[in-house]
A and B are shown apart, each in its own frame.
Chain A
């Protein structure tokens, strides 16, 4: 199965700063990659699918890029509600797999 490696494990930034999160796949997943946001005590929420498409209701400050094995989630200017755990997921190769997550914390 495909292993997704996210980096960094923890990212400490301040509101208003730009966040860049990475997800690397153990083999090519084409553009079949998604990003989820999870806040403490809540279920994950789909942010980005097909590497770069924002899900319904997701603010424009969230963007995704990449293809093949290297992907990036960018949050252009952090809002207080953006501090959470972000996980990537691939569905190119069955079974679908997730990365271990990046914790975005307030500096």
Chain B
């Protein structure tokens, strides 16, 4: 079955960077895009950006432009999300989520998110 497995929890100091991984299995990795969505404690979901696992094209939310980088390693079927210059309000659970539709069938600039990884808690604290 399709599965996304994320790296473990991280604790970082303000100003540091964090890199979270998301390893996919159960499908042909390069035929779908992957999104990153975060959820601060007690808050709603916030879309951060998207990467094509086929060619590495990215779309980032304006809020994170210049501070986030998403990359892929096709040999490992893994997507990475690096967030820099961390602040306390970056404390959140970070999820990766695959596009529901393969790249060739995407009809708009974004897709539905299905399935999701289990989430990675990133805590930013001095």
Interface residues, chain A, with chain B CB atoms under 8 Å away: 32, 34, 36, 42-46, 49, 55, 87, 89, 91-92, 94-101
Contacts and interface: CB of A to CB of B under 8 A. Distances in A.
A36 B112 CA distance: 10
Contacts of B118: 42-43
Contacts of A96: 47, 110
Given A44-B97, A46-B114, A49-B100, 17 more contacts: A36-B45, A43-B115, A43-B116, A44-B45, A44-B113, A44-B116, A45-B114, A45-B115, A49-B112, A55-B100, A55-B114, A91-B111, A91-B112, A94-B108, A95-B62, A98-B44, A101-B44
Interface residues of B, number: 23
Contacts of A97: 47
Contacts of A44: 45, 95, 97, 113, 116
B93 to A, nearest CB: 9
Contacts of B59: 94
A46 B109 contact: no
Contacts of B117: 43
Given A44-B116, A45-B116, A46-B100, A91 B110 contact: yes
B94 to A, nearest CB: 11
Contacts of B47: 95-98
A66 B111 CA distance: 19
27 contacts: A34-B113, A36-B45, A36-B113, A42-B118, A43-B97, A43-B116, A43-B117, A43-B119, A44-B97, A44-B113, A46-B100, A46-B113, A49-B100, A49-B114, A55-B114, A87-B44, A87-B45, A91-B109, A91-B110, A91-B112, A95-B47, A95-B62, A96-B47, A97-B47, A98-B46, A100-B44, A101-B44
Interface in B69-116: 95, 97, 100, 108-116
Contacts of A94: 59, 108-110
Contacts of B95: 43-44
Contact of A99 (B44, B100, B110, B119): B44
A98 B108 CA distance: 17
Contacts of B114: 45-46, 49, 55
